[in-house]
A and B are shown apart, each in its own frame.
Chain A
């Protein structure tokens, strides 16, 4: 089993690389233009400059290499560093000639000229012939003088040292000064010009809350319904639930969503139709508000998942109830409750559990339409806006994350299958 797992995980690496290349190629071929949605009052020549600055016009391989480096290497390193406090980046080093000391009287009156991004070998900076190590705190660079008083330079965001040094307003920073490292370029969205990973992290909570909650609700309701339906096949309950499931599955979520808004927001005024993503739960009242604003999107989505899951539970249960081991159990005089709930249900759930596991990546992908209707603005909405706006880096990143989740939960489903069904053994 362990070996099997390792093999699966290793195979998934080339799979993901191929997926990312395929997605990237498809996106590259798409004619969507990130400046296509700007007002026509912006002249075409200016648009071309914007595209150049974004890197839209870079050759395909350059763009792909940028993505591999910035997303696959830089971003994970950033996350690791942020969580562990370690720093793997090479120490930023400046060639002594890059700094021009304009002041005369030692460190008190030093000024530094702008220097280019440098990657030379020196670990410290020569100032007036003396080697000084660079330190950083937040967004400032420091050189410490002999009395450990800081001299500061401004940091520009990509690791070059800025030009300003005014000696009269040097603030001594509080806290620890860290040795200076090169900062890594992050993978930026073309629309927001901000790191995509930050956008994803910002949006995951509301997607997980709304979509995840509806998925959970669906599981807890659908499984019992499916069991009862199978146990009392062709009863009124079975018929009613079948009709209900068919409706839930075939009526599109945008229709049910609008219907809900019309009934519960416009007519009854019970629930808000706009989801407040900045709402923070602090006490009972704010929790109730959170429930109230989630009820409509959660219900709409839960209806859909419920329909799917209850049908699967029902058919799987039907199959099992007819089998010999159930009859044997009954003939042994085991209580009906135990026969159904213990023997039949457990076996019937094997395919259902697999199905649930395979559906989890879908939870992270969010629900594009439902999120739009209720303005939940989670990952699904982020993806659709990026597609509409021709924001290639964001679409690429999101599809890749979804691909990773899909591959991962496929493995989880396979493993779960083996755990639940002792007849299956992976070697």
Chain B
């Protein structure tokens, strides 16, 4: 079953890299104790999703979707790019809010280590 899957995966190796990146981020979110490191893990996961969707918009030998003299089809799909631009901005907003919350937690409790915070309750 596994070799068959690998054979089918060969044209989609770019996506496999995305899966690895996603798992690295999830590992950091689960295992790391420091809240800032968890946040970095979340950002790595977000990056994986962005890379996945942008990769899906690519086309073999395609030009960027900016029209002008000398730009010939095929063009990459503009829709994933626009979606991911939105996604990146939202990721920025969540990261900023999470950092503000982490600062608040530090001011309140003097620590941002998850296990120490759990003991406080």
Q: Do they bind each other?
A: no
Chain B residues at the A interface, C-beta cutoff of 8 Å: none
